[in-house]
Amino acid sequence: MLPPESSFATIDDVLAGMRQRGGRATPARRLLLGVLFRDRQHRSAEDLAGEVQALAPDVNISTIYRNLEEFVRLGVVDRVYFGGGPATYHLSSGRHGHLVCDSCGGVTEVPDEVFVELADALAVRYGFIADRHQFAVAGLCADCR
For the chain, the average pLDDT equals 85
Q: How far apart are the first and last CA of the chain?
A: 40
Q: Which of 51-60, 81-90, 134-143 has the lowest mean pLDDT?
A: 81-90
Q: How far is CA 33 from the centre of its chain?
A: 12
Residue 7: band (very low, low, confident or very high) from pLDDT cuts 50, 70, 90 = low
pTM of the model: 0.75
Domain extents in the chain: 5-91, 96-139
pLDDT of residue 111: 84
For residue 144, what pLDDT is reported?
A: 93
**CA distance linking residue 124 with residue 145, whole number of Å:** 33
* CATH fold label, 5-91: Arc Repressor Mutant, subunit A (1.10.10)
Report the pLDDT averaged over residues 108-117. Answer: 86
Domain 96-139 superfamily per CATH: Ferric-uptake regulator, C-terminal dimerisarion domain (3.30.1490.190)
- Whether residue 125 is predicted with pLDDT greater than 70 in this model: the reply is yes
Residues counted in the chain: 145
- The Cα 87–Cα 76 span in angstroms is 16
51, 47, 138: which is closest to 89 by C-alpha? 47
